[in-house]
C-alpha cells in the first residue's frame, strides 16, 4: 500500500507541479530542480513523521498550491520573486507549527469560504482538458479515454492510466523533428535560485499559497488520520513539514504538507489488520518518493517535449475530483451561499487589485459577507 500510495500520489500530480513552476517563469532546469526537491522533500518528511510518530502520516507536495501557481501570472521579478514567495509561505507554515494562534486564525476562516477559494484556484486549470481537446484532439483523446477506463475500473487508477497514455502519446504521436534529444540523465542539473522578496509577492502569492495548502491539504490530511482512529499532534507535525518546506524552497520547490488521499490509502484496513503497524506503509511510501525524486531529470525532460496544452490537460484531469469536492463543500450551507460564491468568482477571475491577486481579495470579500450575514441572522 505504501508503494501504491507513492505511485498514485506522484502520477496524479507531477504535471501540476511542473505547470505551476513553468507559469511562475522557471526555466526547464529550474523546473526539473523544483520537481526533484519537492519529491525528495515529501519522501524525507514522510519518513521523518512516520518514524517519530509511529502513525501512517502521509506527506505530499501542495497540489492545490501548485494549481494556484499554474493559474497565476508570472511575477514582475520572475522566478526569483516566486521563490521568495515560496520561502515566505514555508516560513508561515513553520510559525503555524509553534504559534497555535496562527492555526486558529486559519481555522477561523469559514470552511465554505476556504473551499470557495480552493475551487476558484482550481477552476482555470480544470478547463485545460476541454481546451486541449479542441486544440489537439488527436493527442488528448487517448489520454481522456485512458482516464475514463481507469476511472471505470478503480478511482485511484484513473490518473496512472492517463499518465501511461500520455507517455505513449509522446512516443508515438508527437513529431520529434526539430526537438532537442531528450537527455537520459535521471537527475537534473540542480539550479539554486537567489530569492527576491517583495510585499506584492508576499500578499498575492505567499499568503494564498499558504491558505490553500492549509485548507486544501493539511486540514483534510489531519481529518483522515482522525477518522481512522489516530491521535495526531498537529502543531509538531506542521512545524516539521514547514521546516522541510523551508529547506527545499530555495531550489524552487513548492511546500510539502499532510496528504488526505494517500493517507486514506495507508491508514485504512487495506494497509494491514494492525493499526499500530500501518506506519510501515508511510515509511515505504517515503522511500519510494525518494526513489522517484531520482527520476526528476528524466520526467522533466520527457514532459518538455510535449505540447504545453497536453501537459496542462493531464494536470487538469488530476484536479477534477478536488474541484468537485471543494465546490460541494463551498455551497453546503444553504443560507450562506453569497460569501463562498463571491470568493470563488473573484479567485477564479484572475483579477488583480493594487498588484495583489484575486485569491487574497476573494477570501477577504467572502469572509466579510459571511460575517455580515451571520450577524444579521443572529440579530
Q: DSSP for 76-96, please give it.
A: TTHHHHHHHHHHHHHHHHHHH
- Does residue 289 surpass a pLDDT of 80? yes
Which among 85-94, 181-190, 257-266, 287-296 has the top mean pLDDT? 85-94
pLDDT band at 217 (very low <50, low <70, confident <90, very high): confident
Q: Which residue has the higher pLDDT, 285 or 301?
A: 285
The better pLDDT of the pair 366, 272 is held by: 366
147/141 Cα distance (integer angstroms) = 10
Residue of 346, 298, 349 lying closest to 28 (CA atoms) = 298
Q: Residues 125, 313: contact at Cβ < 8 Å?
A: no
The C-alpha atoms of residue 119 and residue 113 are separated, in whole angstroms, by 10
pLDDT band at 285 (very low <50, low <70, confident <90, very high): very high
pLDDT in tens, 313-332: 887 887 788 788 888 888 98
d(CA 37, CA 254): 9
pLDDT at 47 over 60: yes
> Has residue 83 got a pLDDT over 80?
yes
Q: Say how far apart CA 150 and CA 12 lie, in whole Å.
A: 12
- Name the residue with cell 492517463: 162
pLDDT greater than 60 at residue 183:
no
> What average pLDDT does range 146-154 have in this prediction?
88
Residue 231 scores a pLDDT above 90: no
pLDDT at residue 256 is higher than 70? yes
pLDDT above 90 as % of the chain: 27
**What integer pLDDT is reported at residue 238 of this predicted model?**
92
**Burial state string for 133-152 with b = 16 or more CB within 10 A and e = fewer than 16:** beebeebbebbbebbeebbe
Confidence band for 243, pLDDT divided at 50, 70 and 90:
very high
Q: What is the mean pLDDT of the chain?
A: 85
Higher pLDDT, 81 or 276: 81
Alpha helix (H) residue ranges in 294-378: 296-304, 308-330, 338-349, 358-378
Cα separation, 343 vs 332, in Å, equals 15
Nearest residue to 70 (alpha-carbon basis) of 316, 298, 255 = 316
Please give the full DSSP string across 151-181, using - where no structure is assigned.
Answer: HHH-GGGHHHHHHHHHHHHHHHHS--TTSPP
pLDDT value at position 364? 87
Q: Is the predicted pLDDT of residue 232 greater than 60, yes or no?
A: yes
pLDDT band for position 263 (50/70/90)? confident
Give the pLDDT band (50/70/90) at residue 113.
Answer: confident
Torsion, Cα of 97, 101, 102, 108 (10° steps): 130
What mean pLDDT do residues 119-134 have?
86
Q: What pLDDT is attached to residue 3? A: 84
Give the single-character DSSP code of 357.
E
Lowest mean pLDDT, pick from 93-97, 133-137, 290-294, 355-359: 355-359
Query: What is the Cα 292 distance to its own chain's centre?
Result: 17
Question: What is the distance, to the nearest Å, from the Cα of residue 207 to the centroid of all Cα atoms in its chain?
Answer: 15
Q: What number is the average pLDDT over the span 131-139?
A: 89
- The predicted model gives 113-133 an average pLDDT of 85
- How many whole angstroms separate alpha carbon 343 and alpha carbon 362? 4
Q: Is the pLDDT assigned to residue 334 strictly greater than 80? A: yes
What pLDDT, on the 0 to 100 scale, is given for residue 175?
64
Grid cell in block for residue 117? 477559494
Strand, helix or coil for residue 267 = helix
Determine the pLDDT at residue 305.
75
pLDDT value at position 2? Answer: 85
186: confidence class by pLDDT, cuts 50, 70, 90: low
Decide if pLDDT at 178 tops 50: no
Asked if residue 312 has pLDDT above 70, the reply is: yes
pLDDT of residue 179: 47
d(CA 13, CA 142): 19
Amino acid at each position: 500500500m505504501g508503494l501504491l500510495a507513492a505511485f498514485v500520489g506522484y502520477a496524479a500530480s507531477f504535471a501540476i507541479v511542473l505547470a505551476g513552476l513553468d507559469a511562475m517563469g522557471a526555466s526547464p532546469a529550474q523546473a526539473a530542480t523544483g520537481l526533484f526537491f519537492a519529491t525528495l522533500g515529501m519522501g524525507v518528511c514522510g519518513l521523518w513523521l512516520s518514524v517519530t510518530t509511529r502513525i501512517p502520516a502521509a506527506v505530499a507536495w501542495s497540489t492545490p498550491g501548485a494549481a494556484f501557481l499554474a493559474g497565476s501570472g508570472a511575477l514582475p521579478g520572475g522566478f526569483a520573486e516566486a521563490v521568495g514567495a515560496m520561502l515566505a509561505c514555508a516560513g508561515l507554515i513553520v510559525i503555524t507549527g509553534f504559534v497555535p494562534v496562527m492555526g486558529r486564525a486559519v481555522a477561523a476562516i469559514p470552511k465554505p469560504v476556504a473551499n470557495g477559494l480552493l475551487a476558484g484556484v482550481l477552476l482555470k486549470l480544470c478547463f485545460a482538458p476541454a481546451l486541449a481537446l479542441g486544440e489537439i484532439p488527436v493527442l488528448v483523446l487517448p489520454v481522456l479515454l485512458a482516464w475514463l477506463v481507469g476511472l471505470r475500473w478503480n478511482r485511484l487508477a484513473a490518473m496512472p492510466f492517463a499518465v501511461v497514455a500520455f507517455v505513449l502519446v509522446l512516443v508515438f504521436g508527437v513529431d520529434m523533428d526539430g526537438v532537442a534529444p531528450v537527455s537520459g540523465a535521471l537527475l537534473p542539473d540542480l539550479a539554486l535560485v537567489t530569492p527576491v522578496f517583495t510585499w506584492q509577492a508576499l500578499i498575492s502569492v505567499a499568503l494564498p499559497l499558504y491558505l490553500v495548502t492549509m485548507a486544501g491539504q493539511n486540514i483534510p490530511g489531519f481529518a483522515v488520520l482522525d477518522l481512522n482512529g489516530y491521535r495526531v499532534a498537529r502543531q509538531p507535525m506542521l512545524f516539521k513539514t514547514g521546516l522541510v518546506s523551508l529547506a527545499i524552497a530555495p531550489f524552487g520547490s513548492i511546500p510539502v504538507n499532510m496528504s488526505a488521499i494517500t493517507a486514506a490509502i495507508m491508514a485504512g484496513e487495506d494497509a494491514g489488520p494492525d493499526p499500530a503497524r500501518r506506519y510501515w506503509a508511510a515509511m515505504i511510501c517515503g522511500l519510494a518518493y525518494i526513489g522517484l525524486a531520482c527520476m526528476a531529470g528524466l520526467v522533466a525532460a520527457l514532459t518538455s517535449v510535449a505540447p504545453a496544452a497536453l501537459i496542462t490537460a493531464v494536470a487538469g484531469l488530476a484536479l477534477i475530483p478536488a474541484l468537485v469536492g471543494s465546490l460541494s463543500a463551498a455551497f453546503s450551507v444553504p443560507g450562506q451561499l453569497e460569501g463562498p460564491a463571491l470568493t470563488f468568482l473573484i479567485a477564479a477571475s484572475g483579477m488583480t487589485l493594487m498588484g495583489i491577486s484575486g485569491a487574497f481579495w476573494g477570501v477577504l470579500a467572502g469572509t466579510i459577507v459571511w460575517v455580515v450575514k451571520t450577524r444579521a441572522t443572529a440579530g
